[in-house]
Structure 1
Amino acid sequence: MTSALVLMDFQNAIGGRPGFESVVDAAARALDEARRRDLPVVFVRVAFRPGYPEVAAGNLAFSGYAAHAGEGMWLDNPATQIIDRFAPRDDEPVVVKKRFSAFTGSDLEVVLRGFGVDSLVLGGVSTSGVVLSTVRQAADLDYRLTVLSDACGDADPEVHRVLTEKVFPRQAVVTSVDEWIAGL
């Protein structure tokens, strides 16, 4: 079994916002351990071309945002870049997605196949957005899944709790970063 650590939406405008410091700290511990053990690491961020041509008017989640975001979520905008603390290395791909799931509109699956990965270890902001959507799609793609509960965060702590305690365990092993490290 080949595992990859996939860190999702730890970009300045999302995971870099105040209130997610403990989530970033936990994800940083997972990242340090993955690097120490030479596990593949993949970063995922959400960003769009200037003018948001990828966002259809019928997409309720993204069309309203695109109408008011200005340049805030454009590909080259500092807001869409991975937080400095994580500083992706040259051998750590940064995948750009276009929707909630890390797979939608990205080349994530091709990158994972290139690494020979069949097991994903996930962390991300937000639990009810990128993490939920990616868990569902990755499970349908037959990946073995681990969700690092403390390396995930949501603006609504109760939503995070329900997802990590009741929903995700149907499709993933849910554990803390420290428990994951101890089990390696």
Structure 2
Amino acid sequence: MTGSTGTALLVMDVQLGITQRFAEGTDYLPRLAGTIDVARAHGIPVVYVVIGFREGHPDVSRSNKSFAVMAGSGRFIPGDPGAQVHPDVAPHDGDVIVTKRRVSAFAGSDLDLVLRSMEIRHLVLAGIATSGVVLSTLRQAADLDFGLTVISDGCLDLDDEVHRVLTQKVFPRQAQVVTGREWRDQLA
């Protein structure tokens, strides 16, 4: 899939092992599915970013507080059902899947290479968690001079107040922050 629009939607960390902690009892997945459908309808490439490690977790440092607890757990390695993208928002043929090894979508992945190859200069961010992958990716993407949009209701965090502060006070310093509906209306 080419990036003829110069824009790509990043759907980040919406994997079964993550959604079970965050999205149960919410309308998050249907909202996100709607945003993905809008992107596809407008020819905007959808890039899925997933967290994944090698068998035995040799790529997880004991000093990494976020991931060290996973070492030896069998989580987010090949064959782990929890590593799969949630079926409600699953990739379609032609979508790109990028595996990252840290919090930011760029850390330990070939995302930058993929985006440059597709001639993408603007990123639309959605994912779980607002205070994790979305925040880290936004900061790194801004430093890499990407234009940025954050779909506020396409992000989810365990802490509603953290989500609110990030989407209303922090992210607007580096990105346009809109709801999925507002983004759809901008594309119309």
Give the shorter-chain TM-score range.
over 0.9
Q: Could you say what secondary structure the match of 1:174 adopts?
A: strand
Q: Could you say what secondary structure the match of 1:71 adopts?
A: coil
Which ranges of structure 1 fall in alignment gaps of 5 or more residues?
none
* Corresponding position of 1:54: 59
Between the aligned partners of 2:52 and 2:77, the Cα distance in structure 1 is: 5
CA contact (8 A) 1:149 1:177 kept: yes
* Corresponding position of 1:128: 131
CA deviation string 1:80-112 (max 9, x = no partner): 111112221221111110011000011111111
Which ranges of structure 2 fall in alignment gaps of 5 or more residues?
none
CA contact (8 A) 2:29 2:89 kept: no
Between the aligned partners of 2:153 and 2:46, the Cα distance in structure 1 is: 18
Q: How much does 1:20 deviate? A: 6.5
Q: Could you say what secondary structure the match of 2:34 adopts?
A: helix
| TM-score between the two structures when normalised by the length of structure 2 | 0.92
* 1:8 maps to which of 9, 12, 18: 12
* Corresponding position of 1:45: 50
In structure 2, the CA distance between the partners of 1:81 and 1:154, relative to structure 1 (3 Å rule), is: same
* Corresponding position of 2:108: 105
The answer to whether 1:36 aligns with 2:41 is yes
Between the aligned partners of 1:20 and 1:32, the Cα distance in structure 2 is: 22
Q: How much does 1:14 deviate? A: 0.9
Identity of aligned residues (%): 47
CA deviation string 1:135-180 (max 9, x = no partner): 0000000000000000000000000001001110110000000000
Amino acid corresponding to residue 145 of structure 2 in structure 1: D
CA contact (8 A) 2:8 2:45 kept: yes
Between the aligned partners of 1:157 and 1:20, the Cα distance in structure 2 is: 14
| TM-score between the two structures when normalised by the length of structure 1 | 0.94
Between the aligned partners of 2:11 and 2:90, the Cα distance in structure 1 is: 12
* Corresponding position of 2:93: 90
